[in-house]
Structure formats: structure tokens, C-alpha cells
Amino acid sequence: MPHTLHSLKTIPASLLPRIAEIHLGDAGLLSKLGYPFVLRYFEGAIKDDRAFGFYAQDDGTGEIMGFSLASPEPSALTSKLTEDKGWFIQNIIKVIFTRPAAFLQMAISSITIRGQMYEPNTIECVYFTVDPTFRGRGLGRSLQKALMDEGRKQGYKKIYASVETWNIASLKATQANGFRIIKTFREGIYHRHRLESEL
Ligand SMILES: CC(C)(COP(=O)(O)OP(=O)(O)OC[C@H]1O[C@@H](n2cnc3c(N)ncnc32)[C@H](O)[C@@H]1OP(=O)(O)O)[C@@H](O)C(=O)NCCC(=O)NCCS
């Protein structure tokens, strides 16, 4: 499976829908809000000055296999979803009627996130997702490691991640990258481990 990791900042706009599609394999809230929110989120994330990430591309076929994203301030990425008020109101009304549980979870998560302090010189592994075809072959681990290497290069000292307690694949990859569990907490329907690693 020869592949190359590229910076998400340089991804051609035509490939962003594929990133959004792969992201829908993540069980988190963003996926539950639906594809329009996911695509808009990544459109904002690649333009954000401080966020960075990588995508893995098959050297032979050019297929996108997975991606990772980190930021020193993840809430700034989420806030971008509400920048265009007209778009947000129109789409969130659809969510209220078609996915009320996702709307409720969004309200709970926004309160939880508000209470989360972001320390200076730290980043969050916001997302890392691999297309199901390519899972279990070390790609998730190397996409997350790329975030750690880049974070270190940029002078950050620590990286955090939150992983649902049932998510064995993510926990294994994250712990193999040197993260350790520092606490376990509830966020609405989610039961998560909080993990950290020095960079
Ligand atoms: C988490 C994820 C990115 C891992 O990607 P990956 O390429 O499969 O990861 P890796 O192959 O690097 O490592 C996964 C490890 O979990 C193991 N694993 C995978 N699925 C497993 C399962 N269902 N049960 C137990 N172990 C599992 C793999 O064997 C591997 O362990 P090893 O290194 O000891 O062999 C991928 O599963 C995914 O995209 N999941 C959906 C999105 C997601 O949950 N993202 C993380 C959010 S915190």
C-alpha cells in the first residue's frame, strides 16, 4: 500500500468532499450533524492559520485513504460553522427536525467545550480517520504521528486527544503513539478518555 502523506493545507478543493466522506466514518458529533456540516467544517479548517493536518494518498491510484487534523484551539474551527449566519440557521433548522438528538448533543458539547481550558503550547488531535478499506495497517497511527512531528516542529510541547472508551482501534493507535489516559469523562451520550503526550 505505497502512499504519501501531504499537508491538508495544499489539498485541491475538488478532493475536500472525499475528506468529508471519509470523516463520516467517525462516530462523533460532527458526523451526526450530517455531510453539509462536515464539508463546511473542513473548508474552514484548511483555511485556519493555526490548524494543520495531513492526508494520505495512494501513490498508484491517487485515492485518498485517510486524514488527520490538529489545532491549538479546536473550538475556533467549530465556530467557523456559524460564521455565515444564514447558512447556519438554514442547516441547523434541518438538523432540529431530522436529527433532534444530534442537536441536543451539540448543545451539551458546546457547554462542555466552553469549560475546557486550552493551555498554551499545546495542541489537540482533533480528528484522524482512515477509510475502512485501509484500516488496521498502521495508517491511522502514522497520520496521528505526523501531527505530533509537525506540532513538535512548530514548537508545541504537548498534544491532547479525546477518544470514546469503546473505540479500541483509536485507543490502540493513540497509545502506540505514546499517549496516556489522564481522565475519563461523560459528554452527553459520549463516554470518553482524555489522553495526552509530550511532544
Ligand atoms: C481509529 C482509526 C483512525 C485507526 O486507523 P487504522 O489505520 O486502522 O489504525 P492502525 O492500523 O494504525 O492501528 C489500529 C490498531 O487497532 C487495532 N484494531 C483495529 N480495529 C480493531 C478492533 N475492532 N478491535 C481491536 N483492535 C483493533 C489494529 O490491529 C491496530 O493495532 P496494532 O497496531 O496493535 O496492530 C480508524 O479505525 C478509523 O478511522 N476509525 C473511525 C474514525 C475514528 O474513530 N477516529 C478516531 C476518533 S478518536
Task: Report the half-sphere exposure of 67 (CA within 13 A, side-chain side).
Answer: 31
The pLDDT assigned to 117 comes to: 60
Own/partner contacts of 81-87, CB < 8 Å, gap of 24 or more, are: 81/37, 81/40, 81/41, 81/44, 83/44, 87/40
Which atom, in ligand 1's list, is nearest to the CA of 28? 47
What is the rounded average pLDDT for all residues in the chain?
93
Strand ranges (DSSP E) for 3-92?
Answer: 3-7, 52-58, 64-71
> How many A from CA of 81 to the centre of ligand 1?
28
> How many A from CA of 138 to the centre of ligand 1?
8
What is the rounded distance in angstroms from the CA atom of residue 95 to the CA atom of residue 34?
Answer: 8
The per-residue pLDDT for range 110-161, each reduced to its tens digit, is: 777 665 667 889 999 999 999 999 999 999 999 999 999 999 999 999 999 9
Cβ of 128 closer than 6 Å to ligand 1, yes or no, is: yes
Residue 28: pLDDT band by 50, 70, 90 thresholds? Answer: confident
Q: What are the Cα distances from residue 169, in Å, to 122, 130, 186?
A: 24, 11, 20
Instruction: Using most ligand atoms within 8 A of CB, pick from 19, 30, 129, 192 the residue to mutate for ligand 1.
Output: 129
**Cβ burial, residue 181 (10 Å; 0-12/13-18/19+):** middle
The pLDDT assigned to 114 comes to: 63
- Report the pLDDT averaged over residues 155-168: 96
Cβ of 176 closer than 6 Å to ligand 1, yes or no, is: yes
Cα four-point dihedral sign 114, 128, 37, 164: negative
Q: Which residue has the cell 489522553?
A: 195
pTM of the predicted model as reported, rounded to 2 decimal places = 0.94
Cβ of 170 closer than 6 Å to ligand 1, yes or no, is: yes
Structural domains of the chain, ranges and CATH numbers in brackets: 3-198 (3.40.630.30)
Please name the amino acid found at residue 60.
G
Which three cell numbers mark 20?
468529508
> How many A from CA of 87 to the centre of ligand 1?
35
Cβ of 195 closer than 6 Å to ligand 1, yes or no, is: no
Q: Which helix (H) or strand (E) holds 176?
A: helix 168-176
The per-residue pLDDT for range 32-81, each reduced to its tens digit, is: 999 999 999 999 999 999 999 999 999 999 999 999 999 999 989 998 99
